[in-house]
Structures are given as C-alpha cells and as structure tokens.
Amino acid sequence: MIRLTFDTERCKACELCAAVCPKHILALNADLVNLKGYHPMGCIDMASCIACASCAKMCPDSVITIEKI
C-alpha cells in the first residue's frame, strides 16, 4: 500500500506534479485553502498510485512524500 502526502501549507499549486503523473490522479483540492491563499494539490485516487515518485521529483518545493506502508 502507498501513502502519498502533501505539505499543504507549503504547496503553491503550480500543478507541475499533476503534469507528470502517469496515472493522472493528482488535482487541486478545491475544498482547502492554505495560508498562502492557494488550493493545494491532493491525490484523488490513492489506490491507483504506483509510487513512481515522478510528482515528488518534479515538485520545486519538495512538498510531496511517498511512503510504502
């Protein structure tokens, strides 16, 4: 099982992670606004994540953590 987490307070919603996700499971969280005023990214289908880490490598602010649990 995979756990994909985002540091939502540091995310600036650049969407670079979503652009490189091969499974297309990352999207802006419209229900949440961080202290910077952005809708942070989130995973919409954790079960489909293959832990390729493309999103984490692309993130300029290193807000994504991928763990195998």
CATH for 26: 3.30.70.20
DSSP secondary structure letters along 41-69: EEES-GGG-----HHHHH-TT--EEEEE-
Which ranges of the chain have pLDDT less than 50? none
Look at residue 1 in the predicted model and tell me its pLDDT: 85
Q: What is the pTM of this model?
A: 0.90
CB 58 within 8 A of CB 17: yes
Q: Which domain holds residue 57?
A: 2-68
Structural domain count of the chain: 1
For position 52, what pLDDT does the model report? 95
